[in-house]
Amino acid sequence: MPLEVIYVARHGFRSNWLVDHSTGTYTATLRSPTGGAADPALTAHGVDQARQLGERLLKAEPPIERVYSSLYYRCLQTVEPFVRQAIVTDKRLSIRGETGLGEWYGAANFEHPVPASHETLRPLFPGLLDEEYRPLVTPTRMGEGVDELHDRVARTMNELIAQCDREGVRAILLCSHAATIIALGRVLTGNMPESIDTEDFRAFTCGLSVYKRRVAPAGSVSGAVECDGDGIVTSPGASDADAADRHKDLAWRGGRGVGGGWMCELNSDCSHLSLGEERGWRFSGDESFLDAASGQSMLDAGQLGVVVEGRGGGPTDRGKL
């Protein structure tokens, strides 16, 4: 049975970090459990959001058979309540850490942070990580332009969908970050707006999106995707040249989408959250650290987009993204 449904959730409220783009130095507002400056934990409110999201995911139909998540602490912490409760109810779930679903950092002349290793994460999330899984795509540490981000997400989803098709997985959950989730919507549906800052696919904290497949590919082989940028991504066992060649062959725009294309049935729905829609986000041009003035510290991913307040009506002073 090929993959039919993709559930997508954004992580919950988190604490902030600062980056000095002239030196590439990241500093955290609060110390992260992993020790990474750009790897904060959820706030107390974010923990509440994750619990409420988990309760909704347990009722998902069709039920979730596999979980893929960014390896950043806030994403793992967001899916933890759902996965732990699923295990209690005899569902054999674990978390596949996929770096292709990781945070978007703007293009820079320095290396951005990476998620913590499995060795660091294992004691923080005991029994939850799939130790045998190897990520399908790894972003460049020098950051990405907007086109490169969409290319990376297209490559990730093309390979991830093909993997699920081969293994007979019907429904999966992805947990990721705002920019990546917006790119996911565009890549899955094939709908790329003319203006990058169009508010099309939404990304509220712990919001839930649902995508259903338009056409199951013959032979359970995922469709191809088109990439216009030159994002540098690698897959285990593939040379840079091989990865680049496959990357250029993808064609998803014009409504085509990856894996035969997908329909968006829920767009960051927050009806399960007590305070509703909070702290959405959208792109604001193809900004990068390369264009920023020197000698300033910038507040995490907020400098790469615009915070979008939802209809939740909750407190608005908890910090960006």
Cis peptide before 217 (omega within 30 of 0): no
CA distance 154 to 231: 11
CA distance 73 to 34: 7
Q: Are 258 and 223 in contact (CB under 8 A)?
A: yes
Give me the residue label for tokens 């292709």. Answer: 100
Please list the pLDDT of the chain residue by residue as tens digits (321 residues).
899 999 999 999 998 888 887 888 898 888 999 999 899 999 999 999 999 999 999 999 999 999 999 999 999 999 999 999 999 887 789 999 999 999 999 899 999 999 999 999 999 999 999 999 999 999 999 999 999 999 999 999 999 999 999 999 999 999 999 999 999 999 999 999 999 999 999 999 999 999 999 975 554 444 433 333 333 233 334 444 444 444 445 789 999 999 999 999 999 999 999 999 999 999 987 666 666 544 444 445 444 566 776 776 443 332 222
CA distance 139 to 186: 18
